[in-house]
Structure 1
Amino acid sequence: MRLLLTSDTHLPKRAKHLPAELLAAVGEADVVIHAGDWVDTATLDLLEDRAARLLGVHGNNDGPELRARLPEVARAELGGLRFGVVHETGPAQGRERRCEERFPDLDVLVFGHSHIPWDTTAPGGLRLLNPGSPTDRRSRPHCTYMTAVVTGGVLAEVRLHRLPPRHPVGPGAA
C-alpha cells in the first residue's frame, strides 16, 4: 500500500496551487493523508477527486466549512497498521511521550502544524511523522511532503521529498 503524506497546504494564502510533483504523487498513492491546515475547501475537493482514498483532519487555520467536513482526529487501519492523524501535537520537546500517552492504540501518528519535517519513533514504538508543507517552507530550506509503503503490517520506504521552487500550476494540471 502506497501512502502520500502532506500537511499545511495553506491555499491560497501561501501558494496559489499545489505543486505539480505533489499532484502527480497523489495519483500514484493508494491513500493520501493530509494533517490539516488546508485553509480552502477547493484543496479538499481537489484531493477528494484525485485520491483513491483520502484520510484528513482540520487544522487551526481551517474555518467552519472545513471543520464541518473533517474531524480533529482521524484513525484508520492501513495495511495492518493503526494510523492516526492530528494537526497539532505541541512543542517538539516531550512530543514522543505526549503522543504515546494520548494515542496508546496507534502504530503511526501523522501530524502537521510546525511545517517542520519530523520522523521519530517513541520508546513504546509509536512512529511519528510530519511531512512538512508543500507550499510554505517557513524556516526550512525546502517545501516538502512524504511518501511511505506499508507491506505486511510494516511501514517501510518512508521518504521525505523536497520540492523544487514554486512554479504556478493550475488545479487541473498534472
Structure 2
Amino acid sequence: MKIVVISDTHMPRKAKTLPERLLIDLKDCDYIIHAGDWQTVELYNELKKYGPVIGVTGNVDGPELKSLLNTKDILRAGDFNIGIVHGHGTGKTTEKRAIETFADEEVDCIVYGHSHIPVLKEINGVIVFNPGSPTDKRRQQEFSYGILTVGERIKAEHIFFKEKN
C-alpha cells in the first residue's frame, strides 16, 4: 500500500498548482494524507481525484475545511494505525505536541506538519514523520513530501525536489 503524505501546502497563496514531482506519486497511490494548512477547500477536492484523502485542519484553514475535517484523525492502513495531526499550538515543540496528541491512542506512526521541516525518526517504536512542504519550503533547501509504504511494516521516506514545477 502506497500512501502519499503532504502538509502545509498553503494553496493558492504559495502555489497555484501541485508540483509535477508530487503529481507523479499521486497517480498510483492508495491513500493521500494531508496534515493540515491546506488554506482552501479546492485542494481537498483536487486531491480526491487521485485517491481517498484523509486530512486534518491546521491553523490557517477556514470554516469550510473545518466542517469537512477533524483536528486529528487515525487512518487504519493494513495492520497499522497512523495518527494524523497538524501540530500547531502553544508551549513545547511542534513534534512534542503531535506526539502528545496520541498519548492515549495505539498508533504505529504519527504524521504531523506545521513546522515545514521534514522529520523522520522513531520514538519508543512509533514512527514520527513530518513530510515538510511541497509548496512552501521556508528555510529548507528543498521542497518535500513523504511516502509511507505499508506492508509487513511501515516504511517512511521523504521525496525532496528543488523546483515546484
TM-score by length of 1: 0.86
Correspondence for 1:75: 74
1:57-109: CA deviations, max 9, x gaps? 11110000011011111112101111110001664487289538634411111
Q: CA RMSD in A?
A: 2.0
TM-score of the superposition, structure 2-length normalised? 0.90
Instruction: Indicate yes or no: 2:106 matched with 1:112.
Output: no
- After superposition, what is the alpha-carbon deviation per residue over 1:110-137, rounded to whole angstroms, capped at 9, x for unaligned? 0000000011111x21211000000000
Amino acid paired to 1:166 = K
Q: Closer, same or farther in 2 for the Cα pair 1:15/1:97, shift >3 Å?
A: closer
Shift of 1:159: 1.7
User: Whole-Å Cα distance in 1 between the matches of residues 146 and 130 of structure 2?
Assistant: 8
Q: 2:164 — aligned with what?
A: 166
For the residues of structure 2 that align with 1:35 and 1:150, how far apart are their CA atoms?
Answer: 18
- The one-letter amino acid of 2:23's match is L
**2-side partners of 1:127 and 1:105: how far apart?**
12
Q: CA deviation at 1:162?
A: 1.0
Residues 43, 101 of structure 1: alpha-carbon distance in 2 compared, 3 angstrom cutoff: closer
Match of 2:59 in 1: 60
* 8 Å CA contact 2:95, 2:112 repeated in 1: no
Q: CA deviation at 1:141?
A: 0.3
Which residue matches 2:85? 86
Question: Equivalent residue for 2:10?
Answer: 10
Distance 1:49 1:92, change over 3 A: same
Structure 1 segment 129-144 matched on structure 2, within 5 A: 129-144=129-144
**Kindly, what percent of the aligned residue pairs are identical?**
33
2:24 is matched with 24
- Cα 1:93–1:162 change in 2 (3 A) is closer
> Retained in 1: the 8 A contact 2:76–2:82?
yes
Aligned equivalents of 1:12, 1:162: Cα separation in 2: 21
Amino acid of the structure 1 residue aligned with 2:120: D
Residues 109/13 of structure 1: CA separation in 2 closer, same or farther (3 Å cut): same
User: Which structure 2 residue ranges, 5 or more long, are not aligned?
Assistant: none
